[in-house]
Structure 1
Amino acid sequence: MNKNLLSIAIILLAVAIIAVNVWNPQNKETNEESTDLAASESVTATEDVPGVDLSEVQEGKPAPDFELTTLAGETVKLSDYQGKKVILNFWATWCPPCKAEMPHMQNFYEENKDKGVEIVAVNLTDLDNGRSEIESFVKEYGLSFDIPLDEKGTIGTQYQAFTIPTSYVIDSNGIITQKIIGPMDENMMADLTESIQ
């Protein structure tokens, strides 16, 4: 009797394995489709950040205003720079491309600050290594442009600075003309700012 039960159990197990293997390839496409759907839904979900409208930060639209405190302790608004061309940059001290870009930004700023061009380099402070590290970085690179501190991370999120450095070129009317992901050099900054009003 035990041999019969064991034989029946083995046969049922073999039938179950065959049924799963025959049924699974048909279901595999459905699983892949649902995985793709879940992935696309997660991308959409990341675009819906509470309190932030990511659709307002686009080329051709006015740059959303914000207010932050600079490393020097002054309160600045992006709208304070209206009437000037602005390179709005998002960076952190630990970011190698940011380190490569900063000397170019400083040189460009020194050459163009009297020509109606500003650099506003927002430090993603909530992702960085502390205020003393930021101060050391600024001193080491001799940075003299404004460095607002995004201590809560809301401005970096609003401006979609998910890869850094991320920069926006804003014309004298406060309109976003270009978004650049990755480091820039002086020639690139000159080309981007010369082509706008």
Structure 2
Amino acid sequence: MEGVHFARIAQIGFLGFAFAGVYGFVAAASDGEQRRTCSALCALRPNYAAQNRLAPDFELPALGGGTVRLSDYRGKTVILNFWTKTCRPCLEEMPAIAQLAKSLKKHSNVALLTICTDESLEDARDTLRAVLGTEPPFPVLLDPESEVVTGKYGTKLYPETWFIDPRGVIRARFDGPRDWASPLPIDLAKSLTSPLSCSVEFSGGEARGNAADVCAELSAARL
């Protein structure tokens, strides 16, 4: 009987170790996936990032004719850039925006839209032709009264760029110009289409919340 009792204890102990091993493996895998999905967001350091605000819908006239409605892109990640011709940083980042648009042609689940607050679509087209030396490779929408840009999104300074996930939720906002030609914006946009997306939040450009340590660890690893 003592042998049987000992065998049962050993069996229970083995199962306990096995469970701990499996749990540790799953936890490590989950932790690794979180780091993978957060790497682009942490590197780009948006001014704002969260998951609790739906992007206001809008419908605006587009360069080339017709109108564009944001909700028509539901199911895709949308990168939304606000600009105006009187904003020098806006014009300086336009070549990088154009390069991003060209790179996104390989990614059918990500869309790039720009909204201009100038007087007319012709004015916007002439400005972009002068800056890019060609027709813009991205949709240009017109909001001359800033009813969408300021009225719905609260934007007062340009440029400003928003990342909206396939559910229509605002996931990040970037104030000022960025290097949009780097691989990081595409990595961030693609990460928002995956079921397990980054849970790190940003406020004022600083990572906050329960997952903020992920950004700190990733930053330390790059040093």
Q: Which residue is 2:129 aligned to?
A: 139
Q: Deviations over 1:129-154 (max 9, x none)?
A: x5443121222323121111002211
Mapped partners of 1:60, 1:135: distance in 2: 35
Q: Is the 8 A contact 2:76 2:110 kept in 1?
A: yes
Q: Tell me how far 1:190 sits from its aligned partner.
A: 2.5
Q: Which residue is 1:36 aligned to?
A: none
- Pairs within 5 Å for 1:154-173: 154-157=147-150, 158-173=152-167
Q: Which residue is 2:56 aligned to?
A: 64
Q: Which residue is 2:67 aligned to?
A: 75
Mapped partners of 2:176, 2:81: distance in 1: 10
Q: Deviations over 1:19-76 (max 9, x none)?
A: xxxxxxxxxxxxxxxxxxxxxxxxxxxxxxxxxxxxxxx7532211100001222111
Indicate whether 1:190 and 2:186 are aligned. Answer: yes
Mapped partners of 1:180, 1:60: distance in 2: 17
Q: Which residue is 2:45 aligned to?
A: none
- Structure 1: segments with no counterpart, 5+ residues: 1-57
Indicate whether 1:148 and 2:141 are aligned. Answer: yes
Give the % identical residues.
34
- Pairs within 5 Å for 1:16-31: none
Q: Is the 8 A contact 2:83 2:117 kept in 1?
A: yes
Q: Secondary structure at the match of 2:171?
A: strand
Q: TM-score, normalised by structure 1?
A: 0.64
Match of 1:107 among 99, 104, 128: 99
Q: Secondary structure at the match of 1:105?
A: helix
Tell me: CA distance 1:109–1:153, structure 2 relative to 1, closer, same or farther (3 Å). Answer: same
Tell me: CA distance 1:131–1:112, structure 2 relative to 1, closer, same or farther (3 Å). Answer: closer
One-letter identity of the residue aligned with 2:149: G
Q: Tell me how far 1:110 sits from its aligned partner.
A: 0.7
- The size of the alignment, in residue pairs, is 137
Indicate whether 1:174 and 2:168 are aligned. Answer: yes
* Structure (1/2) with the larger helix percentage: 1
Mapped partners of 2:141, 2:83: distance in 1: 11
Q: Is the 8 A contact 2:121 2:142 kept in 1?
A: no
Q: TM-score, normalised by structure 2?
A: 0.57
Q: Tell me how far 1:167 sits from its aligned partner.
A: 1.1
- Structure 2: segments with no counterpart, 5+ residues: 1-49, 194-223
Q: Which residue is 1:85 aligned to?
A: 77
Does 1 or 2 have the higher relative contact order (CA < 8 Å, sep 6+)?
2
Question: How well do the aligned residues superpose, as a CA RMSD in angstroms?
Answer: 1.8
